Chains A and B, each alone.
Chain A
Amino acid sequence: MTNPIVMLLLLLVFSFVLAAVLSCYREDEKSAIIRGIFRRSLVFSVSVIGFAAVAYFTSGFVLFPA
């Protein structure tokens, strides 16, 4: 059984690495890379959490068999 807190932590770790790789690919200066990491990891993790929330409520209410 998975724990939501652990899943959230794993999402944050993955978001950080994804953002680090993308920011380093796009930028070459330290300050720009650090700014890019914060922005991109926030956008990615919030998007995934948003999709998860939509999926959760959809499966719980809209798609729930009557």
Chain B
Amino acid sequence: MPSTLAPEASTRERILAAVGFSILIPGLGHFVGERKGWAMFWFATCQITLVLGLILAGFTQLDYGRTFGVGGTNLIYFLIPEGGNFLVTQLIARMYESLEYRGDYPDAFPFRNLGYILSGMSGVLAMFSAAHAAGQALAKGHPVRSDLAKKPITPGRAAVLTLLFPGLGHWKTGRKFKAILLGGAVLGLFLLGMALGDFADFNRQRHPYYWVGQMFMGVPGWLTSLVASGRNFHAVLPYQDAGLLFTTSAGFFNVIVALDAFHRAEHDWLSSGPKSKEVEA
């Protein structure tokens, strides 16, 4: 039976609290863990991108969500990926309505795509802020040895780096083969999918469900969408469906890559501690 390293029970509780608070409000998990600088950074980044995105797109993001409740109540407004920034999305959904639904013409929002990308970024970043807060809680509960030549990166940072560029988190943990393989495979799949869809596939209005998966591609995906935002289909392309499948799958694969980067960095971190504890897997 292989053995693996695991944080102590008290640290696991702190990690769970950090994740829960971060999902409620990005930065709250850091704040509770007394990382006030990071708390401000995540809070400001997630809320500014959400509000700015909603304003630029005339709150039309709300057309893609649904309310769920019991007995006629509207308990939860379900909108992905913005819902990753949970509490503020709930508040805004109750305070505003889509300007398009109210009767404005679609061409009244020239920066609609930028707005969608920004508000979607907010939700994705909020989810990754939870991973970052978890890494900070682990680092606080399990400090590494002071005699190390090179301090390992925290698991949360490895996950966030994957969002910047697929494979970057693995590269920073020293796993260069995995970094090149994963980065090349995921980014290659995404770009091949975009090419099969004539670079017009990353569009929330046309494919709102696929778009959610595409958003998890991270910074390369967001930039590609912004650069290609003016492109439209002029014919039905033969491999358009395959292109959509590839780009969306690439986004979800990137989530798996981030999870792996987190897990490997966590193992490295715990291996570098003075009081590492072996448990049976």
Question: Which residues of A pack against B, CB within 8 Å?
Answer: 1-3, 6-7, 10, 13-14, 16-18, 20-22, 24-25, 28, 30, 33
A1-B238, A24-B178 known; A17+B260 contact, CB < 8 A: no
Sort chain B's interface into a size bin. Answer: 20 to 34
- In the complex, chain B residues whose CB is within 8 Å of the CB of A18: 249, 253
> Does B259 touch A at the CB level, under 8 Å?
yes
Interface majority SS (helix, strand, loop, mixed), chain B: helix
The CA-CA distance from A27 to B231 in the complex, in Å, is 40
Are B188 and A28 interface neighbours, CB within 8 A?
no
Question: Which residues of B pack against A, CB within 8 Å?
Answer: 175, 177-178, 181-182, 185-186, 188-189, 192, 238-239, 242, 245-246, 249-250, 253, 256-257, 259-260, 264
A21-B256, A25-B259 known; A10+B239 contact, CB < 8 A: yes
- In the complex, chain B residues whose CB is within 8 Å of the CB of A16: 185
In the complex formed, the residue of B with least CB distance to A2 is B238
A62 to B: closest C-beta gap in Å: 25
A11 to B: closest C-beta gap in Å: 9
In the complex formed, the residue of B with least CB distance to A23 is B181
- In the complex, chain B residues whose CB is within 8 Å of the CB of A6: 239
The 10 closest A-B pairs by CB, nearest first: A20-B185, A17-B185, A17-B189, A21-B253, A25-B260, A2-B238, A30-B177, A24-B178, A10-B242, A21-B256
Q: Which of B175, B177, B186, B238 makes the CB contact (< 8 A) with A21?
A: B186
In the complex formed, the residue of A with least CB distance to B267 is A28
In the complex formed, the residue of B with least CB distance to A11 is B242
Are B177 and A13 interface neighbours, CB within 8 A?
no
The CA-CA distance from A22 to B252 in the complex, in Å, is 12
